[in-house]
Amino acid sequence: MFLSWLLLSVLGLVQHSVAKIYDDVSDLPGFEYDFVIVGAGAAGNVVANRLTENANFSVLVLEAGVSNEGIIDSSVPFLVENLLSGPASYEWNYTTTPQVGLNNRVVPYPRGDTRNYSMHGTLRRSYQLTFWAAVLHTVSSHPNITFSVNYAMLDGMVYTRGSAEDFDRYAANEKWTPPADNHDTRGEFNPAVHSTDGINSVSLSGFQWPIFQEHVIQATRELPDEFPFNLDFNSGEPLGVGWLQSTIGGGERSSSATSYLAPKFIQRQNLHVLLHAQVSRLVDPQSNAGGVAFGGVEFSQGGSLFTAKPTKEIILSAGSVGTPIILMNSGVGNKTALTALGITSVLDLPSVGQNATEQPGINAGWSVNSMQTVDEITQNATLFNEAFAQWNATHTGPFVNIPVTHIAWTRLDADSPIFQHVMDPSAGPKTPHIEVFVGTGGFAAGATGNFMSAGITVLTPTSRGSVSLQSNNPFDPPLIDLGLLTTDFDLFTAREAIKKAYRFVQAPVWKDYIIAPTIDLLNMTTDALDEFIRNNAGPVGHLVSTAAMSAKDASYGVVNPDLLVKGASGLSIIDASILPFVTSAHTQAAAYVVGERGADLVKQRWK
């Protein structure tokens, strides 16, 4: 649901070629299109790009976001998303319901978009609670700089594909349909190496922190059993410690907006994007042989409602929160629950919004005996401004990256006691349960001066939550219950993950580098550590499964393996909400994969 400022400012420079991005519905040439795509996020923009490769297809993308030329910071990787300072903020202002597993805390749940909400106070708070805050607090600590993270789609630009086993599991459990021509799809889902001629840029870091980096690599030599060096964790076999890869090109964020909707694509005559268009529901349901077909997509702009008319398909790409709430507002969901809210049930699909899966994250920090940390820059306005000026002038320097250098992917010990009563939820033995993301600074409670930080994530949570409606008003915020840390497995794994991070920094090489942990999480009873986790963990923003794919004959699920909604026709879902399990990774890469695969499926249907 995100259209980056960068795109808009780039387009601003090319003036009239931007004609295909409309701000005002009255400028839209018409309301009838072959395909109406809801949401300009990672997957939605991929689908828009791929479908309009066929000049015979007309495509309208409806995006709730606004344009705001002149805000350049979103393209500076270090600033992640500097969209929340000032009068406007650019996300949905969602909070969770009280989270039982987090000692009943209500936590902000930022979902990136570009609507003009003003609430940066809430966002600031959220960063204290989330994994991202963990690593990037330095950014929000700069008085005028906070960052919005498009959690659904673009997050911190970290590009991690997950394990081959993750993708094999989707295929095995969900009977992902082979393409009609039965061509070999290896390589479409798990490109073993990197393509150099794709659309979205992925790169290694463009700024070095030599002392820190050498320590990390040396630690992999000293602890080769637990933390082996992995040359490329995007090979399908992620276990070990590898160099960060990010969706960054030429020192700038590469998002689906800057890549798949780059000027050369947006100029296509058959592609229109309408901004400030918040979709409320699908309307005009009719029963036909294939199931319920909706005749229109209702959206609001400037307080008025309009209806776009798809002649072939509606494609929901509104993300793991937006997609299920649009379905439910359209009468697609649990009939009992919708009826109780006064929404006419159109299609009884109780799995809509259920099985919501999010990864819990927590952070740790250590004060260090080195001046080569990002705190040197972020805690010194002169250096901060210099770094920004350098980025601005040459797209080089420390701002070309987030301040993270490596990721360690690791598993629970095979003989962990938890496995005596819980089945291993990972996709297989080559798939991590735990991520430890290390960098030269960032947030760590109580830290001042120079420090290193670790973002620690439970990748394979067994807790499940839900996204539901609180009323029949489609503009009311939804109820988001992430169910974080509500299972023994997740709490156990969070504890083990912290211990793993501490074991990594116990490699001899760190001895003279690390002074002390900012909070000594090892020197705690299990009860105290659990309490610390419950009071400090937060969602990392990798929500999936709220419109999950399942086998065609399954008794649950929302879409079939062809991504068409069960019991409907002309309605598909192409975003991370269809993933039946979360990847043991960040979800950005998976969202692109879903977009590419989904676009192929749509093209096959309509060729």
Ligand X SMILES: *[C@@H]1O[C@H](CO)[C@@H](O)[C@H](O)[C@H]1NC(C)=O
Q: Which residues are catalytic?
A: 542, 586
We find the least distance from the C-beta atom of residue 160 to ligand X, in angstroms, to be: 23
In whole angstroms, what is the distance from residue 140 CA to residue 160 CA? 24
Q: Measure Cα distances from 32 to 142, 270, 282, 314 in Å.
A: 47, 12, 14, 12
- Pairing label, strands 59-62, 271-274: parallel
Closest distance of CB 186 from ligand X, Å: 26
Residue among 436 and 579 whose Cβ is closer to ligand X: 579
Question: What sign has the CA pseudo-torsion 403, 588, 45, 593?
Answer: positive
Q: What six digits make up the tokens of 591?
A: 């969202």
Amino acid at 530: D
118 binds ligand X (CB under 6 A): yes
Place of tokens 């977009």: 595
**Stretch of residues binding ligand X (CB under 6 A), selected from 21-29, 277-285, 381-389, 560-568:** 381-389
Nearest one of 577, 604, 605 to 590, comparing CA atoms: 577
CA 301 to chain centre: 26
Contact between 122 and ligand X per CB under 6 A: yes
311 binds ligand X (CB under 6 A): no
Nearer to ligand X, 375 or 596 (CB): 375
The minimum distance between CB 115 and ligand X, in angstroms, equals 9
Is residue 208 near ligand X by the rule CB under 6 A? no
Stretch that binds ligand X, among 157-165, 331-339, 491-499, 528-536 (CB under 6 A): 331-339
Q: Is 258 in the site for ligand X (CB under 6 A)?
A: no
Q: Tell me if 180 contacts ligand X by CB under 6 A.
A: no
* Structure token pair of residue 586: 């960040």
Q: Confirm whether residue 122 is marked as ligand binding.
A: yes
Residue 216 or 452 with smaller CB distance to ligand X:
452
CB nearer to ligand X: pick between 296 and 333 = 333
Q: Three-class SS of residue 568?
A: strand
Instruction: Answer yes or no whether residue 382 interacts with ligand X by CB under 6 A.
Output: yes
Contacts with ligand X in 63-82 (CB under 6 A)?
66, 68
Q: Spell out the long-range contacts of 30-33 with Cβ–Cβ below 8 A and sequence spacing 24 or more.
A: 31/306, 31/307, 31/308, 31/309, 32/308, 32/309, 32/310, 32/311, 33/58, 33/59, 33/60, 33/272, 33/308, 33/309, 33/310, 33/311
Instruction: Verify binding: residue 243, ligand X, rule CB under 6 A.
Output: no
Under DSSP, the state recorded for 75 is G
Per CB under 6 A, the list member of 551, 556, 562, 605 interacting with ligand X is 556
Q: Which of 15, 26, 70, 144 binds ligand X (CB under 6 A)?
A: 144
Rg (the chain; Cα; Å): 23
Closest CB 94 distance from ligand X, rounded Å: 8
Q: Residue 522 contacts by C-beta under 8 Å, 6 or more apart in sequence?
A: 498, 499, 502
Structure tokens at 38: 């809801």
User: Half-sphere exposure of residue 37, counting CA atoms within 13 Å on the CB side?
Assistant: 34
Q: Of 229-237, 289-297, 386-394, 500-508, which segment contacts ligand X by CB under 6 A?
A: 386-394
Give yes or no for residue 117 binding ligand X (CB under 6 A).
Answer: yes
Pick between residue 53 and residue 188 the one whose CB is nearest to ligand X: 53
Q: Does 546 bind ligand X (CB under 6 A)?
A: no
Distance in angstroms (rounded) separating the CA atoms of residues 100 and 1: 29
Rounded Cα–Cα distance for residues 395 and 382 (Å): 18
Token reading at 174: 């969900």
State which of residues 15, 70, 87, 415 lies at the interface with ligand X (CB under 6 A).
87
**Span from 330-338, 426-434, 443-451, 486-494 in contact with ligand X (CB under 6 A):** 330-338
CB 320 within 8 A of CB 577: yes
By CB under 6 A, tell whether 606 contacts ligand X: no
Residue 510's alpha-carbon distances to 59, 184, 220, 516, in angstroms, are 55, 47, 12, 11
Nearer to ligand X, 88 or 211 (CB): 88
Q: Which of 28, 171, 217, 337 binds ligand X (CB under 6 A)?
A: 337
CB neighbourhood size of 116 (10 A): 13
Based on CB atoms, which residue is closest to ligand X, 185 or 506?
Answer: 506
Shortest CB 23 distance to ligand X, Å? 10
Binding of ligand X by 341 (CB under 6 A): no
CB of 121 to ligand X, least distance (A): 9
The single residue listed with the structure tokens 């570009």 is 114
The closest of 49, 61, 11 to 277, measured between CA atoms, is: 61
End-to-end Cα separation, the chain, in angstroms: 27
Binding-site size, ligand X (CB under 6 A):
32
Closest CA relative to residue 252, chosen from 112, 397, 91: 397
Q: Which of 95, 96, 150, 246 binds ligand X (CB under 6 A)?
A: 95
350 belongs to the binding site for ligand X (CB under 6 A): yes
Q: Which of 180, 192, 371, 389 is close enough to bind ligand X by CB under 6 A?
A: 389
Q: Does 523 bind ligand X (CB under 6 A)?
A: yes
- Among the listed ranges 18-26, 113-121, 497-505, 589-597, the one in contact with ligand X (CB under 6 A) is 113-121
Report whether 307 belongs to an annotated binding site: no
Residue among 43, 8, 592, 546 at smallest CA distance from 276: 8
The CB-of-144 to ligand X minimum distance in angstroms stands at 4
Minimum distance from CB of 368 to ligand X (Å)?
A: 17
Asked whether position 396 contacts ligand X by CB under 6 A, the answer is no
Under rule CB under 6 A, residue 172 binds ligand X: no
Q: What are phi and psi of 384, to 5 degrees?
A: -60, -50
What is the maximal distance between C-alpha atoms in the chain? 71
For the bound state, the minimum distance from the C-beta of residue 159 to ligand X, rounded and expressed in Å, comes to 27
Q: How far apart are CA 80 and CA 432, in angstroms?
A: 26
- Tell me the closest approach of the beta carbon of residue 193 to ligand X, in angstroms: 30
Reported residue count of the chain is 607
Residue 342 interacts with ligand X (CB under 6 A): yes or no: no
Annotated binding-site positions? 122, 279
Binding residue positions for FAD: 122, 279
In the complex, which residues of this chain contact ligand X (CB under 6 A)? Answer: 54, 56, 66, 68, 87-88, 93, 95, 116-119, 122, 143-144, 334, 336-337, 350-351, 354-355, 380-383, 388-389, 392, 520, 523, 556
